[in-house]
Chain A
Amino acid sequence: MTTETDILIVGTGFAGLGMAIQLKRSGRENFIAIERAGDVGGTWRDNHYPGIACDVPSHLYSYSYLPNPDWSRVFSPGGEIQAYIRKCAEDEGILPHIHFHTNMLKSTWDEDAKRWIVETSKGTYAAKILITGTGHLADGHMPNIEGLDSFTGDVFHSADWDHSVPLEGKRIGVVGSGASAIQIVPEMQRLASELVVFQRSAPYMIPRWDRAFTEGERRMCRRDPSVVEDMRSEIFWSGEFNFAQRRNIPRFLNEAKALAVGHREANIKDPELLAKLTPDYEIGCKRLLISNTYYPAVAAENATLEASALQRVEGNTAYGASGTGYDLDVLVFATGFEAVRPPFATRIFGTEGISLDERWDQGMQAYDSIAVNGYPNLFIINGPNTGLGHNSVVYIIEAQVDYIMEALAQIDAQNIEVIEVKRAAEDAYMEKLDAMAQGTVWLAGGCKSWYVDERSGRLTLVWPDFAHSFRDENGTFHPEGYDMQPAPVAAE
């Protein structure tokens, strides 16, 4: 049996849920969101490792139309963000539209029916419009490590934390030194008898200006919502200022670097460790991290920083590329996500019968960062060139939802059956982005990062400009980029 719906949304994280809320608020009822897990929240549901928090202040990292006066801290813990997302889904009446434990397996475009046929773990759906909100941080990346199968201890990925594994007094290895790792490491250092951090490359880090909000402050936010609005504005525009660093302008890049160097030197006194923790590329080329607890943790007596990648495992011994081996009880892989080649793209097949992943064999690209030629009636939220190195992705998601809402209104008004972006428009958009990306720290900063597609050297993950200009450029629907076919008028 096939479930018919006007609009099918894939995923219920910030993107999918934000889309669903606006559909519902506009008076639409004929939509379904499929969710592979048993709860909403996306990356905030999956990532529940010790120490998880967001790097964007909570008052901004939330929907603009659903402010939360009750955030406990400037940077609230992950569980609070997850609870916020769930509450949004409940309050907005979205839960009845969500089909949980429903994993998209294969979506194909049915040219005759002008429908997306979406096969899932719970049956088949047919939808006029398909919207993906699968995110950049959905599927954990596990490096292929020689001999890992032989490891005698416990192994898990940071995005699939096994809370049943006892950690107290254990010898723990953390693989990675990115955004997840630097939150996990201080927690592990407190528990472990010995801690080893396998660091392929040193990250830049700046202080985290975090603090708890008082009850009085929370009451102030409840009593006067304009206070929250002012805070959002202030956080957003301070974040925007920092785009000048990513733009790689010497003055601003050097200011950021001075902050990072000062933070490092204030925390790390051992010259050998300091050298290991000093990056060999420009600040911002890889994600800039914020932490007050990471440096003290790696400098602690029970911690060892192995300044090379984990290379192989033999029994209970894990070897860095340097050749040094460590006997360990637990290995935690904080090795990030499949961001550059998102797995959802292998499951969507367009008019030519090829997958998006194949179509993107030189890297992801989409017109207005949302639509791909050959994949009609498909909108991708938080897909190619939507990531930010300096501000809140929820802002980008809201701009994309606005775009889709305008497109849907036009589709309805003109009784459009098929909407497909023109290839020339898509290519022109990418050429524009390629030109904008030249000279930015992501391309010129001398590092290897998940922002850049190795196959083409193109910046495919990040929007290479201010966040506000994403909204200016991509927050409204551009019909001129699309071919739109009206539905045939039914014969009398």
Chain B
Amino acid sequence: MLDNQPFREGHVTVNGVDVRYRVAGPENDRTPLVLVHGTAGSIDGHYGYIFPMMAYRQRVIALDWSEPAGDTLELADLVAQVKAVITAEVPEGPVTLMGYSLGACVAAMTAAEMGGKIANLILAAGWLRTDTHQKMRNDVWRQLRDQDSASVTQYMTFCAFSPAFMNMRTVEDMKAAAGMLKITPFVEKQMDLNTRIDIAAACETIAAKTLVIGCTYDMMVPKHHSKQLFGAIEDARYAEIPSGHAVVHERAAELFHYVDRFTRQPDEFPAGAIIPAQKP
């Protein structure tokens, strides 16, 4: 008999679009954890591991982004969706808010705007300000996309995983994984938004106890971005996972380890600490 975890689905309307979310896990002394996925992601796509495993520990809430009306996606559109879900489920707060990749930028902005309601913040593979290196990659992506080239998903896959992870598999395995990626108009808008991120000023105002997680072999959002977040946010501590950008797949269990420890005891490490890697 499989352990089918009970969960509840909810939805809120934000600027005229329906935003769906999922709630699971027991209420206990841990602060509810809200999960925000990244570009081209979803609850199952980016939190397929973290969501069910954390729900054995505590209350977990995760949302799927909905495409807002209009030609251009702004960070504020996604922030509004996250705020609406938090307000619907934990109106008084506090919550622990976790974002991955673009979701980390959304989460950081949300924390800046919601103040004390966001007690704790986890930013995995996020960034402060889009830089030349990212713009260059994004530009190649855009050209491949404009050519309607099948290699656009292979390029994304190539950029997402570390060499060590890839080398445990065959080229065919990696191409098959690339084939699962679907580029929708909404994903294109997210990719465009990725070129215009600047949350530097907002990060200076974040009061939440923050865990920043950088990925050693990240080619999409190299770890110097996480170091910048670690510097910009006052009450931040930093951990690093030897993974590519796709840490939610590559090192899901190690990511879980950091999330689990931080949500259990956010002040285990003081502000400014670089958390040593566990050496098995």
Q: Which residues of A contact B (CB under 8 A)?
A: 60, 64, 229-230, 232-234, 236-237, 240-241, 243-244, 247-253, 282, 392, 395, 436, 439-441, 444-446, 466-469, 471-472
Contacts and interface: CB of A to CB of B under 8 A. Distances in A.
Nearest to B165: A234
Contacts of A244: 49, 52-53, 253
B280 A236 contact: yes
Given A466-B253, A472-B261, A249 B277 contact: no
Given A241-B252, A466-B256, A468-B257, A248 B3 contact: yes
Given A241-B252, A468-B257, A249 B280 contact: no
Contacts of B4: 250
A446 B253 contact: no
5 contacts: A233-B242, A234-B242, A392-B280, A468-B253, A469-B260
A390 to B, nearest CB: 10
Contact of B56 (A240, A247, A395): A247
Nearest to A229: B279
A233 B279 contact: yes
Contact of A440 (B3, B254, B256): B3
Given A241-B252, A244-B52, A234 B257 contact: no
Contacts of A243: 253
Contacts, number: 73
Given A64-B280, A244-B52, A248-B2, A230 B242 contact: yes
B49 A240 contact: no
Nearest to B250: A237
Interface residues on B, range: 20 to 34
Contacts of B5: 249
Interface string B229-266: 00000000000001000000001111011001100000
Nearest to B257: A468
Contacts of A468: 253, 257, 278, 280
Contacts of A436: 56
Contact of B279 (A64, A240, A247, A469): A64
A469 B49 CA distance: 16
Given A64-B280, A230-B242, 16 more contacts: A233-B242, A233-B277, A233-B280, A243-B253, A247-B3, A248-B2, A251-B48, A252-B49, A282-B1, A395-B280, A436-B56, A444-B2, A446-B1, A468-B280, A469-B260, A472-B261
A250 B2 contact: yes
Nearest to A243: B253
B248 to A, nearest CB: 11
Contacts of A441: 3
Contacts of A445: 1
- Determine chain B's interface SS by DSSP, over half rule: loop
Nearest to B277: A233
Given A234-B164, A236-B280, A472-B261, A241 B253 contact: yes
A469 B259 CA distance: 12
Given A232-B279, A236-B280, A237-B253, A444 B3 contact: yes
* Leading 5 A-B pairs by shortest Cβ distance: A240-B253, A236-B280, A248-B3, A439-B3, A241-B253
A305 to B, nearest CB: 28
A462 B87 CA distance: 41
A439 B3 CA distance: 5
Contacts of A236: 280
A439 B6 CA distance: 12
Contacts of A446: 1
A174 to B, nearest CB: 32
A247 B254 CA distance: 16
A340 B2 CA distance: 25
B193 to A, nearest CB: 29
Contacts of B260: 469
A469 to B, nearest CB: 7
Contacts of B277: 233
Nearest to A398: B280
Contacts of A64: 279-280
Which residue among A64, A232, A252 has the maximum number of chain B CB atoms within 10 Å of its CB?
A252
Nearest to A465: B56
B39 to A, nearest CB: 22
B257 A466 contact: yes
A436 B53 CA distance: 12
Which residue among B4, B164, B280 has the maximum number of chain A CB atoms within 10 Å of its CB?
B280
Contacts of B56: 247, 436
A397 to B, nearest CB: 12
A391 B96 CA distance: 30
A100 to B, nearest CB: 31
A343 B256 CA distance: 38
